[in-house]
Amino acid sequence: MLSYPSGMSVSTRAMSMLADLLRGRRAQLGTRWRKLDPGRQALLVVARLRKGETYADLAGGFGIGTTTVYRYLSEAFDLLAVLAPTLAEAIEVARGKAHVILDGTLLRIDRVGIVGGRDKPFYSGKHKCHGVNVQVIADPAGRLIWISPPLPGARHDMGAAREHGIIDAVNAAGIQTLADTAYQGGGPAVKVPQRRRRLDPDTGRKRRLTADQKEVNTAHARRRGPGERANAEIKNWKVLRKIRSSPSRAHALVRAVQVLMLAS
């Protein structure tokens, strides 16, 4: 198998953090020797997450077996999962911000069973594909604060946010949260754009927004816009662009990417 040098836009801080975790794990287990040192194992893990490399390609490039690749990745994902922040920790971070941006995004997945309709919960009618729904909280500059555990892609954003406890948490903490119209009815802390008014009894059409209401919506969209940056950065980790593992493994991938993004 041929191999070639390549580059990845990942901070050295995140790489060092992961290598230190792996080094500490080996010391805890009393491991005397492995094919790859902690730094090379960390590089393998980041190559999987950032570039979406297959097990076979990683095995050929690093000169190890595919089974060893699987074990190295699983070990790293377990270590990173421990560092993944909880919603309560994310809310504490959000308290120090002028406001936060809440948005949902779909991570495509192709490992869902279609026998007996088991794929239906994962099919998003909006995106016309199978996937998992994650809720993303970002700061006013678009920097990531928290990613929720994934839910089946058919879930509506508002239902997913309520299930994770996000809506109750931001309202209880009084954190101003900017969101799109999918989060209508999210309580006083959740600010959404104004929608068209009810039907006009005279014309039978929905009343148009006034000029002032349009200006308010424009200002709201301008402040909410940076939240798309967080979603885009999440999908820069190619393993999440199209998840090629079981939906039950998607949570491990999301947590690993989240920890490395926050470490950067």
Interval 28-53: pLDDT, tens: 999 888 999 999 999 999 999 999 99
Whole-number pLDDT of residue 145: 97
3 pLDDT more than 80:
no
For residue 151 the two structure tokens come to: 């839910």
What percent of the chain stands above pLDDT 70? 97
Per residue in 140-161, pLDDT tens?
999 999 999 999 999 999 999 9
2 pLDDT more than 80:
no
Q: Residue 134 — φ and ψ, nearest 5°? A: -125, 145
197 pLDDT more than 80:
no
Distances (CA, A) of 233 to 144, 238, 257: 9, 10, 10
